[in-house]
Chain A
Amino acid sequence: MEFTIRHDGREWILENEEAVLSSPTMDGLDQKVREYIHEKGLLRAGEKLEVKMYFQNSTIPQWIRQYSQHYFNRILVVEG
């Protein structure tokens, strides 16, 4: 499962074609991802699902992107 991740100054926001999830903290965000996956029945007991989060670089101002065009990507492993 893949999302883009960004920060709007108040909250971390995960987004893909099917869902938008947000939370002020990264832990809260991870918790919402787990809940979303379980609610949607995307994972059976004993299975593992990798949730890839790709940072939306447009969050960073253009003048900083010349120094570093990469902020972070992360992977969350959710267990069924």
Chain B
Amino acid sequence: MTDLANRKWYTGMLTQEDWWAVWLGVGFFFLSLFNIVGIDLVGWMTYPTKWVLNVPEGGKGAIGHAFYALGKKYSVTAKGFYKGLGWWSVIWTYVGFTIATCLGAFFMKWNMKRFFVGWTIIYFLTIATWFVGHHAFIAANKINMHKYGLNFALNLGGGGSFILALIVGLIIGNFFKPFAQFLSEAAKPEWYIKTAIVTLGVKLGYLPIKLAGMSQKLGKQAAGITFDLFVAGAAATIVAYMIFWPGVYIISRKIFKLPRATAAVLGSGISICGVSAAVATGGAVKAKPVVSIMVSALVVVWAVIELIILPGVFTHIWPGTKDPLVAGAAMGMSVKTDGADAAAGELLDEFMRNKVEVESNGAIKWPEGLITSSAVMTKVWIDMFIGIWAFVLALIWCYKIECKPGEKVPASEVWHRFPKFVIGYFFCWFFLLAIYFGPGQGGAPEAMPFLKTVKAGAVPVEKGMRKLFFMLTFISLGIITDFKKLREAQFGKMVWVYFVALFFFIIPVAMVIAYLFHHGMMPPNIAEFVVK
């Protein structure tokens, strides 16, 4: 019979995107660890820097340096070599990640030719957008714009590139539909974001190492705050579950009079974790696949609308820079796909750090990535709960609501629905923490030369690879988001349930819960250690 009949616990390890996010993230993470023995295999990863066409005298921003290999700054053993790469690092990065992603596409049995061509177009579109987004007019702020000879800048930091990438993707997805269709083989926001989330695990584990380079106390503070996020994220998620799902289910049933199965699928799609939950719940309650498909289409479109609105609202209206991690956690509970949530978290991170630096006139600087982590942490917990929730719902449906004589619910469903990329995320995080507390001696000065070699490998992965995959996510999200789907008649009521539930129930409740569990947690200030 089919492969499904012989399904084992390890089924899908070579054929599912979830697992390929793990192989890509963990694979490059392991390559990065070769730095410990003096071999730098990841320093070629490219990264953009702010640029201007006319560099002021004594200023910064030469276009020739707009992209550089991260090994130029961080490598311990091959700095000279990577310094010479400059813009060529873009091609090295293309070759490196093309091999890796094509390997994944091959094992996942995708159309290789279409994937390769689509990937190549998306990659170079991403690079072009990244480049434009780093023009100092877009990316600089009032603290550093004078170095580029500017009297005004948009203050968007790296967030400008993300917004541009989304706009480029949306233009393709909505105005060049045949082209978007052609690119769809390689426009995989979920794969890219799951890979980025695995590398975010590297970021979390690396944070104490990075801050230990500034002061040992800061390093320990960073390790502490990542654990706090871990615990607070779990607690907030459980509470949110208890409130969100029944709330949306009741709104769907009582106000909008939707059928039970549709209300259940919609309840999970809106309140829990978007498409994955909608599909999982659809399966659990044995809804016709079309219900899950319709809800999924809604989830994707609404998540992108949230991604456009919420980072700005959370930064400039409430909670602002007073409670940045509350904003991150609320984002994780409000935005309903991993891709849009992590992308919104990253935008929020850029906006918040930029805002606090400008507000304090440079006296406060937060390390990048913590606010993104707070957004992703709640989402990761939610993802892990999906399998359990789908199983519980299947039991309730099977034994209570629609009792079918003789039907059993296989417990293996929980594992098959477990988001495997989470394993890569936690693995990288805890592996680096073990290095930090083990041979790194908790950031003791005598261990710093060793930790510097770890840093040389970690930075290209947590910075270069992570940001690149975020950019790929933004552009791919745009490509697969067709706003016309909202206008299609058959959605009718569901669009309104989604709107009402999201803006008048989910987001306000998420903000309250995030406040209860994250209020008072602040990223450490690293301003005095950062070279201006």
Contacts and interface: CB of A to CB of B under 8 A. Distances in A.
Interface of A: 2, 4, 7, 9, 16-17, 26-27, 30, 50, 52, 54-56, 59-61, 63-64, 66-79
Contact of B17 (A9, A69, A77): A69
A50 B149 CA distance: 75
Contacts of B65: none
6 contacts: A4-B2, A67-B279, A68-B417, A69-B16, A74-B408, A74-B410
Contacts of A26: 286, 404
Interface in B271-301: 274-276, 279-280, 282-284, 286, 288-290, 292-293, 296
B5 A52 contact: yes
Contact of B5 (A2, A50, A61): A2
Q: Which 10 A-B pairs have the closest CB atoms?
A: A72-B283, A67-B275, A54-B4, A68-B279, A71-B283, A77-B406, A75-B408, A66-B190, A68-B276, A67-B276
Contacts of B480: 63
A69 B2 CA distance: 15
Interface in B402-430: 404-410, 413, 416-417
Contacts of A79: 406
Nearest to A10: B288
Nearest to B5: A2
Nearest to B15: A69
Contact of A74 (B5, B17, B407): B407
Nearest to B288: A7
For chain A, what secondary structure do more than half of its interface residues adopt (helix, strand, loop), or is it mixed? mixed
Residue of A61, A68, A76 with most chain B CB atoms under a 10 A cut-off = A68
Given A56-B2, A70-B279, A73-B4, 11 more contacts: A16-B1, A26-B286, A60-B292, A64-B296, A67-B275, A67-B276, A67-B279, A69-B16, A70-B283, A72-B286, A75-B407
A67 B296 contact: yes
Given A55-B283, A66-B190, A76 B275 contact: no
Contacts, number: 102
B18 interface: yes
A27 B406 CA distance: 11
Nearest to B16: A69
Given A26-B404, A77-B408, A61 B413 contact: no
Contacts of B394: 72
B184 interface: yes
A66 B337 CA distance: 12
Contacts of B17: 66, 69
A7 to B, nearest CB: 5
A50 to B, nearest CB: 8
Chain B interface residue count: which class?
A: 35 or more
Nearest to B279: A68
B263 to A, nearest CB: 18
B12 A69 contact: yes
A50 B408 CA distance: 9
Contact of B284 (A64, A72, A78): A72
A75 B290 CA distance: 22
A2 B1 contact: yes
Interface in B357-406: 394, 404-406
Contact of A64 (B7, B279, B288, B405): B279
B112 to A, nearest CB: 15
Contacts of B12: 69
Interface in B43-62: none
Contacts of A64: 275, 279, 292-293, 296
A67 B191 contact: no
Contacts of A61: 293
Contacts of A69: 12, 16-18
A17 B2 CA distance: 11
Contacts of A7: 288-290
A3 to B, nearest CB: 9
Contacts of A68: 275-276, 279-280, 417
A12 B430 CA distance: 45
A72 B290 contact: no
Contacts of B279: 60, 64, 67-68, 70-71
A66 B276 CA distance: 9
B72 interface: no
Contacts of A52: 5
B473 to A, nearest CB: 12
A52 B12 CA distance: 20
Contacts of B292: 60, 64, 71
B249 to A, nearest CB: 19
Contacts of A72: 282-284, 286, 394, 413
A30 B337 CA distance: 35
A61 B7 CA distance: 21
